[in-house]
Structure 1
Amino acid sequence: MRRGTRYGALLGPLLAGGATPALVTRAARGLGLPERGRYAVVVLGTPVPDAAVVKGPDADGSRWWWGAAEGSPGEVGGSPGAAEAREGGREVAVVLLGPAGPGRAAARLRELGAGPGGVSPVVGSLAQLGAARRLAGTALLTCEPGSREIVRLDERLPAALLVSRPELSTRLLAEVFGPLLTLVPAERSLLVETLEAWLECGGSVGRAAARLGCHRNTVFNRLRRLERLTARSLSRPRELVDLVLALDVLRLSSAPP
């Protein structure tokens, strides 16, 4: 059912940030939302699935409004309580959260096959939606290229710091993984895959070997080689942090490892 541009006009200034108190009050009345409440913002990198634009509250009581941020295309439509629009090709939603919180909002989008997408931390009022939208957009940037991930910013804070300062991320990658990046792609991928498996297995060489389908000595030798190439030790916490952050930069790069 087409609803015109009214809902986009109300949501846009809130999502852009800096709305005056009078505008916040007018938007709250027009949208039927409380000025204060538990809100999150979702930013999707692909078109929102039709099933996500629902009538009435979700099963957990959360309510969704899909709407345009300031400066995005203005056409708005959908079911009551929902407005479709795009922010530079991205879909933006305001969620009045139910008891299950933002985790349930993220899970719902995954169930619908949406993504990639970022979910902001919880904010306490409509006046804070602009900041929440920016944080949700940052969370989206931490999704691996080509993935369908739905991620919450609070689960990706180190990676969010990296994508927020791309010039430092590039420097970190070159400083930590520079010698590794000079290897032929197959050789480089093998070492990166081994490091990822070792990290995901909690630093257990045996479990990493089982996951990779090789002997534990093979894993051990690959990790020692990686330490030599990067001049960093996996047993030294600060140096391990360097390796983990560089791995995140590599993961978020459009280039394969």
Structure 2
Amino acid sequence: MRGRSDERGRALLDALLEGRPEPDLAAHAAHSLGLPEQGRYAVAVLRPGGGAPAGVAMEADGLRFLRRRRADREVVVVALGDRDPAVLAGLLVRWCPGPGGIGPVADGLAGLGDARRLAEVALLTCPPGTTEIVRLEERLPTALVVSQPELSARLVADVFGPLLDLDPADRALLMRTLEAWLECGGSAGRAAGRLYCHRNTVLNRLRRLERLTSRSLSRPRELVEMMLALDAFRLTAPQP
């Protein structure tokens, strides 16, 4: 009987995560899983999974975790109570090195489907090869880019079209320089330290980038276009 009850609970949790519009689904799941129907929940989508078997309820730092394996993803539902969801990333890396995405807080079990879908989008903002676990709220502009792959491809082609014809090593150098400059708040000196080159080298590369793209990093609208195109390129370009 316990086994059948656990199996039913897992099936109901899967239905919630899929966002199925079934009558009284949240109420049945709350009863079966021993969770409040109304409350604050977070959903994380991780790749690859690890640690305890999927589907097992866990307790950590006063939070309850429910884990489900879905294809090449592991989905974790967290009953937050009054806790800040910002603490989740640090807890999740205990059994999964990442990458992973955390969706916005769901108000009740009925919101798990939307929270799971947005956690998937957050995961898409993690570049290949990284092991970070990020919250959607931290990546909203990038999430807009990756959630529209056709438009992202057009943005890359429009902004970086001339760069795509360069030698791959040359193109990668310009892209790394732009990325470092952005991460350093537009400071060529700090970017040079990160790239182990002279400040003037950074400035020369940025000027070359401006010439190739016909865009100026000093014009806000064109700078935004380049930032979004860089995100799209990093997340969609084939990896060597």
Instruction: Please say whether Structure 1 and Structure 2 have the same fold, judged by a TM-score greater than 0.5.
Output: yes
Q: d(CA) in 2 for partners of 1:194 and 1:41? A: 35
Deviation at 1:251, TM superposition (A): 1.1
Partner of 2:17: 15
Q: d(CA) in 2 for partners of 1:28 and 1:253? A: 39
Partner of 2:26: 24
Partner of 1:5: 7
Partner of 1:201: 184
8 Å CA contact 1:66–1:93 kept in 2: the answer is yes
Whether 2:121 is the aligned partner of 1:138: answer yes
Q: d(CA) in 1 for partners of 2:109 and 2:95? A: 26
8 Å CA contact 1:38–1:124 kept in 2: the answer is yes
Partner of 1:166: 149
Say which SS state the counterpart of residue 20 (structure 2) adopts.
coil
Deviation at 1:115, TM superposition (A): 1.4
Match of 2:88 among 97, 102, 105: 105
Partner of 2:131: 148
1:151 to 1:51, Cα distance in 2 relative to 1, 3 A? farther
8 Å CA contact 1:145–1:254 kept in 2: the answer is no
- TM-score after normalising by structure 1: 0.86
Q: d(CA) in 1 for partners of 2:178 and 2:113? A: 38
Q: CA RMSD in A?
A: 2.1
Whether 2:238 is the aligned partner of 1:236: answer no
What's the CA shift string for 1:48-96, capped at 9, x where partnerless?
323998765321x2111113xxxxxxxxxxxxxxxxxx22221112110
8 Å CA contact 1:145–1:253 kept in 2: the answer is no
Partner of 1:185: 168
Say which SS state the counterpart of residue 151 (structure 1) adopts.
strand
Partner of 1:220: 203
Say which SS state the counterpart of residue 40 (structure 2) adopts.
strand
8 Å CA contact 2:125–2:146 kept in 1: the answer is yes
Which one is further off, 242-251 or 108-117? Answer: 108-117
Match of 1:34 among 30, 36, 45: 36
> Which sections of structure 1, spanning at least 5 residues, go unmatched?
68-85
Which one is further off, 212-221 or 109-118? Answer: 109-118
Partner of 1:246: 229
1:188 to 1:66, Cα distance in 2 relative to 1, 3 A? same
What's the CA shift string for 1:214-245, capped at 9, x where partnerless?
11111111000000001110000100001100
Q: d(CA) in 2 for partners of 1:62 and 1:98? A: 8
What's the CA shift string for 1:99-122, capped at 9, x where partnerless?
442211111122434311111100
Q: d(CA) in 2 for partners of 1:100 and 1:254? A: 38
Say which SS state the counterpart of residue 5 (structure 1) adopts.
helix
> Which sections of structure 2, spanning at least 5 residues, go unmatched?
none
Whether 2:99 is the aligned partner of 1:119: answer no
What's the CA shift string for 1:155-193, capped at 9, x where partnerless?
111111111110000000000001011110111111111
> Aligned residue pairs: how many?
237
Letter of the structure 2 residue corresponding to residue 88 of structure 1: A
Which one is further off, 34-43 or 112-121? Answer: 112-121
Q: d(CA) in 2 for partners of 1:22 and 1:213? A: 60
Q: d(CA) in 2 for partners of 1:250 and 1:127? A: 35
Q: d(CA) in 1 for partners of 2:11 and 2:21? A: 12
8 Å CA contact 2:56–2:67 kept in 1: the answer is no
Letter of the structure 2 residue corresponding to residue 195 of structure 1: L
Q: d(CA) in 2 for partners of 1:230 and 1:56? A: 51
8 Å CA contact 2:56–2:66 kept in 1: the answer is no
Q: d(CA) in 1 for partners of 2:70 and 2:58? A: 24
Deviation at 1:18, TM superposition (A): 3.4
